[in-house]
Copies of this chain bind each other. A is one copy, B any other.
Amino acid sequence: MTNSASASGVTPALPRASRGSHRPLGVPAVRLGQGGPLGAWQQRNADATIDHLISNLESSGVLDNFRRVIGESGAGYRGFVFADSDLYKTIEAIAWEIARSGADRWDAWLDDVIGLVGRVQESSGYVMTWIQGLHPEKKFAELDWTHEMYVLGHMIQAAVALDRAAGRDDLLGIARRFADLVDRRFGPGREEGICGHPEIETALVELYRHTGEQRYLDLAQRMIDLRGKGLLKVGGLGASYFQDHAPVRESKDATGHAVRQLYLNAGATDVYLETGEPALLDAMHAQWDSAHHRKMYLTGAFGSRHRDEAFGSDYELPSDRAYAETCATIADVHWAWRMLLASDQPATYAETIERELHNALAAAVGDDGTTFFYANPLQLRPDRFSEENAPRERQHWYSCACCPPNLARLFAQMSAYLATSTESELALHLYADAEIDVPAHLGGGVLKVETRYPDDGEVALSYDGPAPLRLALRVPSWSAVTTLDGEPAQPDADRYLRVDLSGARTLALDLTPRWTQAHHRVDALRGARAIEVGPRVYCVEQVDLPDGVALDDVVVIEGAALDLRTQEGSPTVSLTGAVRSPSGGLYAMPENDPGEQKDGVAIVAIPFATWGNRGSTAMRVWLPVV
């Protein structure tokens, strides 16, 4: 599995055509070590999360939902309409884990559940338990809400991953039969219909890539082409909720349900990668600007509204009310990776993925690997009550359990996102302790990356090959002083530093803690500052403050010194701030502000990635500034 030629096929999103200059290396070609968090997360995912998912698929009724259709269970249907997708995402996670580690301990379980899915599949190819078991009359009749194609999309992604990773095509056969049914009914020239929840688009492009059958690409493109034409029945949340308010090529604003928009964008970018249609890429660039330059939380999260799980207006980014669903960030990683593959200027996409991994996604899983956040606010008020989607603590499972298995498949495939190859160089986009198989056309062999990044900014690179390896090392925008073997080094205009590596060299990125502010239009963040170190956003938890100091009274001083330390292996930033007296009226004339303030208060900030692991106390990323 470590042969680079075959390994390059074992990856999500492997374009057949070449649009940008970058090609994936594949999951097995990039082996994360345990020197930094990415490898540790991947190992935790294998050791704890996947088995936790399997256990909960049973206890939450997902598997019984299949069994009851064929009389193997007497239980009632449980879960949301799209509960089948939890199973498929779990299978996909296992597939990428097999690609990574060659694990075979889930083979019997896979035999069992894939056999079950096969028995539930109708002769037509149809398989979706909510429809079959509860509402057969709704089959393909209420596409706005039934999620049938969404469920099929996740089945396809799992099936393709399993065949790529393990050469196992039983689920693929099931998925193709279901996809063929959809194609016969909704393919070009036939009935017009799209799914209320985008997802099938990216999956169908993957199925095309994996099978070589053009009709799957055509069907994906048809789903893109038909969106925004009013095919979906408008509900109380409006057509924009499921991005049916405007054609994809004309929709410039990221709007409506955030996960839906971002999956749709991943699918549209996939279609572009294969068809090269400029109008699709133009629309994606506009979407990118909207989502990332006007609607993204600092942690790489999306969706400021709980009510419809939606993007807010431009610059509407409240920390406490953030919905910031874990799945939206996962969807954005998928999309960003496809944009990277479509581009000759990949730095911005790689930097986005890095921000998302080290903040929103890192925080979405507890240290234990078996607790998860669904919503990821950037502020927790001291008296906020806890509910599933406005949490005080990570939960073991959710009534809508989309996030945990989505995290598992992302972490399992994450190594694929570290590096790409071009015709002439190996590009390193993310830094992590890893061994990377160098493609043969670049000299073969193994590039060793040794680092504790982002706990440390030093990245030791070594390569022993027949000729120097041409490396393109991404220099993050925040790295003010970057060095190579101790000498200042300047990246090219595309923010990659070119190095011909022979032997060992050390790249050092600048982890000087820095203050960050938000655009003046972000009302929720006016007069506040965040602390960042490298790719990480920091936060302050009440538990780290001196006795008697309430987090909501803490203020920081503009430009205060930030002292990065390591405590018990974990990085912290120490600073001196002040605390305001909570006295004073709710509203007052400025000249009547009591303004009492005690200086010299010791404040400790920790990475947002690790918040909420020491009980449930108040937390905030953005700190008021004097």
Judging by beta carbons under 8 Å apart, are B518 and A587 in contact? yes
Tell whether A71 is near chain B: CB-to-CB under 8 Å: no
For A624, what are the chain B residues with a Cβ–Cβ distance below 8 Å? 520, 523, 526
Q: Give the complex CA separation of A315 and B555 in angstroms.
A: 16
Q: Is the CB of A558 within 8 A of B519?
A: no
Given contacts A294-B586, A516-B589, 20 further A-B contacts (CB under 8 A): A293-B585, A313-B382, A314-B381, A315-B552, A316-B320, A318-B321, A318-B524, A321-B321, A515-B589, A516-B587, A516-B588, A517-B589, A518-B586, A519-B584, A520-B624, A521-B552, A522-B586, A523-B524, A526-B527, A558-B590
A505 interface contact, C-beta 8 A: no
A451 and B77 CA atoms in complex are apart in Å by 69
- In the assembly, what is the distance between CA of A516 and CA of B590, in Å? 6
| Contact of A420 with B by CB under 8 A | no
Contact A384 B520 (CB under 8 A): no
Cβ-defined contact, A587 with B553, below 8 A: no
- Chain B nearest CB: distance from A554 CB in Å? 10
> A383 near B: Cβ within 8 Å?
yes
Q: Find residues 134-189 in chain A having any chain B CB closer than 8 Å to their own CB.
A: none
Shortest CB distance A597–B (Å): 9
- Cα of A321 to Cα of B307 in the assembled complex, Å: 11
CA distance A294 to B524 in the complex (A): 18
Decide if A587 touches B298 in the complex (CB within 8 Å): yes
- Is B383 touching A582 in the complex (CB atoms < 8 A)? no
In Å, the complex CA distance between A383 and B384 comes to: 29
A contacts with B: majority SS: loop
Query: Among the interface residues A240, A383, A580, which one has the most CB atoms of the partner chain B within 10 A?
Result: A383
Cβ of A257 under 8 Å from chain B: no
Which residue of B has the minimal Cβ distance to A294?
A: B586
Q: What CA separation (Å) do A528 and B524 show in the bound complex?
A: 11
Number of interface residues of A (CB under 8 A): 55
Cα of A327 to Cα of B113 in the assembled complex, Å: 54
Q: A293-B586, A318-B321, A381-B313 known; A593 and B517 CB under 8 Å?
A: yes
A469 close to B (CB within 8 Å): no
| A528 CA / B382 CA spacing, docked (Å) | 24
> When A315-B552, A527-B526 are in contact, do A519 and B587 touch as well, CB less than 8 Å?
yes
Interface residues of A, Cβ cutoff 8 Å to B: 238, 240, 292-294, 296, 298, 306-307, 313-316, 318-321, 379, 381-385, 514-524, 526-530, 552-553, 555, 558-559, 580, 582, 584-590, 593, 624
Residues of B within 8 Å of A306, CB to CB, are 307
CB distance from A395 to the nearest CB of B (A): 15
Q: Which of A315, A521, A552, A587 has the most CB of B within 10 A?
A: A587
Q: Which residue of chain B has its CB nearest to the CB of A305?
A: B321
User: Is A584's CB under 8 angstroms from B524's CB?
Assistant: no
Q: Shortest beta-carbon distance, A397 to chain B, in Å?
A: 17
Contact B582 A521, beta carbon cutoff 8 Å: yes
Report, nearest first, the 10 A-B pairs whose CB atoms are least far apart: A527-B527, A526-B527, A313-B381, A521-B552, A517-B590, A313-B383, A519-B586, A293-B586, A520-B580, A516-B587
Q: Is the CB of B316 within 8 A of A587?
A: no
Nearest B-chain residue to A537, judged by Cβ: B587
Q: How far is the CA of A51 from the CA of B552 in the complex (A)?
A: 49
* A553: contacting residue among B319, B518, B521, B580, CB under 8 A: B521
**Of all chain B residues, which has the CB nearest A390?**
B307
Q: Cα distance A529–B298 when bound, in Å?
A: 26
Nearest B residue to A527 via CB reads B527
Bound state CA distance, A384 and B255, in angstroms? 11
| Shortest distance between the CB of A246 and any CB in chain B (Å) | 13
